[in-house]
Structure 1
C-alpha cells in the first residue's frame, strides 16, 4: 500500500465549491469582476471595491 501525505493525490475540489464553502463558513467572498454572471453595474462595483481596498492593478498591455 502506498501512503501519500495529506493534500497529495485524491480528488480536487471544484473551485466554485471552495468559493461557496468559504462564503458560508468564513464569510469570505471570492469574485472576479469578469464573472459573466454579474451585470455590468455589479462588475463595476467589484472593481471599485478592489481599487479602494487593494489599490489599482497595473495596466495589462492590450492583446492584438
Structure 2
C-alpha cells in the first residue's frame, strides 16, 4: 500500500493558476515586472509599490569585457 501525506502527489498546478487562486482566495497579488501583459505605466506602478514595501532592487551588475 502506498501512502502519500496530504499535499504530496496529485497534479501540480501551473504558476498562473497559483497566482490566480492566491488573488481570489487570499487577496495576494504576485506580479513580475517582466510580464508582457503590463503596459509601461503599470510596470512602473508595480516597481514603485515593490520599492515602497520592500526596498529597492539590487542594481544590475555591469559585465566588463577585457
TM-score by length of 1: 0.84
Structure 1 residue ranges, 4+ long, deviating more than 4 angstroms after superposition: none
Structure 1 residue runs without a partner (length 5+): none
What are the ranges of 5 or more consecutive residues in structure 2 without an aligned counterpart? Answer: none
Indicate how the Cα distance of structure 1 residues 62 and 27 shifts in structure 2: closer, same or farther if over 3 A, else same. Answer: same
C-alpha distance in 2 between matches for 1:28 and 1:51: 17
How many residues of Structure 1 are paired with residues of Structure 2 in the alignment? 64
Alignment of 1:43-58 (within 5 A): 43-58=43-58
Alignment of 1:1-64 (within 5 A): 1-62=1-62
RMSD after superposition: 1.7
